Structures are given as structure tokens and as C-alpha cells.
Structure 1
Amino acid sequence: MTNRFAAILFGLCINCTSLVYAENTQNFSQLLSQNVSVSGQMTTAKFDQLMHQGFKSVIVNRPDEEAGNQVSISQLRTIAERSHVSVIYQPVDSGKVSQSDVAEFAKYYNHLPKPILLVCKSGSRSTALFNQAKSQGLLNE
């Protein structure tokens, strides 16, 4: 009975792991609008997969020197260039989105090819930039 229980448990664990993996590979970004998605904590493998999802531009709002950052802007640019995707580096300190940050973001947004992927640690500051620029009427949609 113990071996049978262990086998069933093992089978369940394998199925759960497969589901989690499938979920994670498909949900690397969150759609904010028809033209914009946002993604949090980045790795080179995750970014490489995102570059195959049709994005034409990327705005990175996470400073390279921020604690816990796993990839540099130069690594992201190298990956993006292979997919012919434009990358803008607009570092913004977490929790300190200023009006000048919002205006600069809007300038990039309005001139970049769409769809755009926004990248920061959790997605919060990139989402804040997008939402503030949108609410102020700064984005040409």
C-alpha cells in the first residue's frame, strides 16, 4: 500500500510540475493594452522567449544596478538585436516615478514600433508609467 501511495503521489507531483511550467512559459507578460505588455523579473531565457512573441520594441525601466537584477541592459540588447527588436533603457527608481519620467516614457512610447514590452522588477513601475501617461493624455493610441 505504501508503494502504491508513493507512486500516485509521484505522478501527481509530475503533473503539477508540468502544469506550472506550461503556465509560466505562456504567461511571461501581462497585457496592459492592445499595444503594450509588461513583465517583471527578467532572465536571459525568459527574455529570449518573449522576443519570439512578436514584440517590436522594449522599454526597460529597471536600473542595472538595482538589487536583485539578474540581467544587464547590454545582455537584453544582445538578445533583442537577434530578433530585430528595438530596446530603450529608461531606468526609473522603484517607487519614485516622476512627472519627467512619465513625459520621457510617453515620448518613447509614441515613437516606437508597437507592440511594446515594458520591463522592470515586478511590472509595477512600468505599469505606473504607462497608466500615468495614458491618464494624462500623453499617449498616441
Structure 2
Amino acid sequence: MFRKIDDSISVSPQISVEDVRAAADQGFTMIINNRPEQEEPGQPAGDDIREAARAAGLAYVAIPIGHGGFSANQVDAMRDALANAGGPVLAFCRSGTRSTFVWALAKGADGEDPELLARKAAGAGYDISPIKPLLGAR
């Protein structure tokens, strides 16, 4: 279920409270929630995921991203979260795509090669070509 992009981050479709323990057992140190609350009926509440993360000794950051796109604030928040994670991160949204996109935008803003980012994303099953022209544009 968790798709490894590289040693620093994996992404996932929506996780459950039970998945938090699996994330901790796999060595993740932080969970990043990129999903807006109540995006669809029956979605686990971010507060429940946050509490499960804390109980499992994981840091938790919410950077909700709707379907309207990405703001500079969201990219900066992702950069900060990744820089302060202290170990591997698990980021999730509905399908993992928005998490992959905001990761790529954050890494691109840090100067990482867009081609390398695209290869890493593709290795996890995600196509970042829609945002590739934006990588490193800051």
C-alpha cells in the first residue's frame, strides 16, 4: 500500500488509523496528511490519524491540498516538513498523486533535478508530467 519514492519518502492512498501502526513498524518517523477534511463521505478524520500517529511516536503534519492546485504556502510547508522529519516520511491523500506532486514541487524548489524527480515518481507509479514545467520555477 505504501509506495516508496526514495529512502526519504513514501506515498499512499488514504490511510486508516490501523495503518499508522504499520507505518511506525516500517520505520517512518512522520506522517503528512495532504487530504482536505471531508473530501468524501466515510473518510477517516485527520484528527484520528494525528492521534494514532502521536500514540505510535510519529510526528504528524497536515498540509491539505484540494483539487484546485498548489499554493506556494503548501509547497513551503512540505519543504519544512520534509526538512524536519528526522527520518522517512509517509505522505497520503486520496490516491497518492497530490502527495507526490507536492513532494516533487518541494524538492524542485530545493533545486533537485526535475528528470530525477520524474524518474523517482514513476518508480512509485506516479506521473508528474503535468507539473514538470513548474519544478524549480521558484
TM-score, scaled to structure 2 = 0.73
Q: Distance in 2 between matches of 1:90 and 1:138?
A: 21
1:87 aligns with 2:60: yes
Identity %: 26
1:64 aligns with 2:40: no
Q: Distance in 1 between matches of 2:77 and 2:27?
A: 24
1:32 aligns with 2:5: yes
1:107 aligns with 2:80: yes
More helix by share: 1
Residue type of the alignment partner of 2:4: L
**Structure 1 alignment gaps of length 5 or more:** 1-27
Task: Tell me which residue corresponds to 1:76.
Answer: 49
TM-score, scaled to structure 1 = 0.71
For this pair of structures, how many residues does the alignment match? 112
Structure 1 consecutive aligned stretches of length 4 or more whose deviation exceeds 6 Å = none
Q: Distance in 2 between matches of 1:59 and 1:101?
A: 12
**Structure 2 alignment gaps of length 5 or more:** 113-138
